[in-house]
Structure 1
């Protein structure tokens, strides 16, 4: 029997596609959509001159990642503290998020895979 509103039965319906981001940030999603966060994020963007604090690359829009130096999970009271926030590009954000982990990176994994003529198609992971 087909699922209501679908052409497929429960056994054959297509699996939901996702990029993994929801699993990583789902519990904080309401916070990241709040006016307080948007205002603080804009302040950090302007304070850091739209440049990654690690590499100095110009960042804009979704490539402008505001990073919590001390994660919200460790101290929720610092989530809007401007001194706890820095602007990063996606690659530097991935590097910082994964540098202390001994396992294969699980956050921003696409930034750890390099293909093309520079690497000869080899996949590189951080040490």
Structure 2
């Protein structure tokens, strides 16, 4: 088992490598089990700056760092800084979002 300082050193060099460590995989599984593999945002259990209108049960696919891994590397495996999210909520919270604007067609179809 690596120490927290060793994990922080890995994050500082290459954050992607952190997600391949045994410590992260174990913590991720622990958080998924704690949250019953349900998206905490969809179920309304996680209050964030990104409100959701309808609560529903959705299977979680990701464990999200509430405070960014880069901004707070010492919280990388802190259970209080981790929550389970589904794909849609994770993309929304990470501000990747989906571009819902209608795309302009490449060609104009005229009938």
| Pairwise same-fold verdict (TM > 0.5) | yes
Deviation string for 1:78-103 (max 9, x for gaps)?
000011000001111111111xxxxx
Q: Distance in 1 between matches of 2:67 and 2:99?
A: 27
Say whether residues 1:112 and 2:92 are aligned partners. Answer: no
What is the aligned residue count?
78
| Cα root mean square deviation, aligned | 2.1
Distance in 2, matches of 1:58 and 1:35, equals 26
**TM score, norm. by length of structure 2:** 0.62
Q: Secondary structure at the match of 2:14?
A: helix
Q: Hey, what does 2:36 align to over in structure 1?
A: 49
* TM-score after normalising by structure 1: 0.55
Secondary structure class of the residue paired with 1:42 = helix
- In structure 2, what is the Cα distance between the partners aligned to 1:27 and 1:35? 16
Does 1:34 find its partner at 2:14? no
Equivalent residue, structure 1, for 2:59: 59
Q: Which runs of 4+ in 1 moved over 6 A?
A: none
Higher-RCO chain (CA-CA 8 Å, sequence separation at least 6):
2
**Structure 1: stretches of 5+ with no match in the other structure:** 1-25, 99-106, 115-120
Gaps of 5+ in 2: 1-12, 44-56, 104-111
Q: Secondary structure at the match of 1:80?
A: coil
